[in-house]
Amino acid sequence: MTKPYYQKDKAILVHADTFDFLEKVKPESMDMIFADPPYFLSNGGISNSGGQVVSVDKGDWDKISSLEEKHDFNRRWIRLAKKVLKPNGTIWISGSFHNIYSVGMALEQEGFKILNNITWQKTNPAPNLSCRYFTHSTETILWARKDDKKARHYYNYDLMKSLNGGKQMKDVWTGALTKPSEKWAGKHPTQKPEYLLERIILASTQEGDYILDPFVGSGTTGVVAKRLGRRFIGIDSEEDYLKIAKTRLEREE
């Protein structure tokens, strides 16, 4: 087995290609998977950084040459994720319109049933500098379980209802982009806000459950999992990002 990059208490970080590592994970061992895979945005487009027009280049991990390659990437990692997920486990996958349609199709092709289509509505999105489109202000998070009639997924309905003032929690979640105060450990281009992972983990897991993030980046899933008493394994191919994740996890100790 690959030597962990970091291991303390119930949290493990692994420096590896997720395709290689997932092959080695014990089948049906994970209660929940949260994945924020590459959006494949870094292909010569432009974006807004602090009010400046910049070309989008998040790194080689975010580049792809064709639609077929993107869909093949999504089908392959989702297939491996399915193998390591327990029969009653669930998977959450976040993405923008650049990849989420491929992800949704891949989920169904690989034998998952989509449970929810969450819209994350950002209250402070970056303005659209080209002024030729509506401001992009949402991302999607798909929640799915294995498409098996016997599968019984866990949903903490009562907690979600009470967190929503006694009314059923809806599938539109509104909130700000990741706060600067959560970015203290270093720079990752797509760090997710902690409040999103908190809701996801509380809704779909119980204390002591095993959570896997195959594209862990700056470690947001691990930080929140640890805080909430869940066991965690995170994988990333970029050591610079794992360093940020490790620093953040160490503060949770």
Ligand X SMILES: C[S@@+](CC[C@H](N)C(=O)[O-])C[C@H]1O[C@@H](n2cnc3c(N)ncnc32)[C@H](O)[C@@H]1O
Nearer to ligand X, 151 or 202 (CB): 202
Nearer to ligand X, 57 or 238 (CB): 238
At closest approach, how far in Å is the CB of 168 from ligand X?
A: 27
Rounded Cα gap, residues 156 and 78, in angstroms: 24
By Cβ distance, which residue is nearest to ligand X? Answer: 217
At closest approach, how far in Å is the CB of 34 from ligand X?
A: 8
Q: Give the SS3 label for residue 42.
A: coil
Nearer to ligand X, 82 or 188 (CB): 188
At closest approach, how far in Å is the CB of 250 from ligand X?
A: 16
At closest approach, how far in Å is the CB of 123 from ligand X?
A: 18
- Name the residues that contact ligand X, by CB under 6 A: 17-19, 36, 38, 61, 188, 190-192, 215, 217-218, 220, 235-238, 241
Strands (E), 4-95: 6-8, 11-15, 30-35, 46-49, 52-55, 85-95
In which residue are the tokens 């491929």 written? 102
The separation between CA 34 and the C-alpha centre of its own chain, rounded to angstroms, equals 5
152 and 88 in contact (C-beta within 8 Å)?
Answer: yes
Nearer to ligand X, 18 or 204 (CB): 18
DSSP code per residue over 131-182: SSSPPP-EEEEEEEEES-TT------HHHHHHHTTTS---SEEEEPSPPGGG
Strands (E), 16-157: 30-35, 46-49, 52-55, 85-95, 112-122, 138-146
Residue type at position 28: E
Nearer to ligand X, 85 or 245 (CB): 245
DSSP code for 223: H
At closest approach, how far in Å is the CB of 238 from ligand X?
A: 4
Q: Give the SS3 label for residue 40.
A: coil
Nearer to ligand X, 88 or 138 (CB): 138
At closest approach, how far in Å is the CB of 61 from ligand X?
A: 4
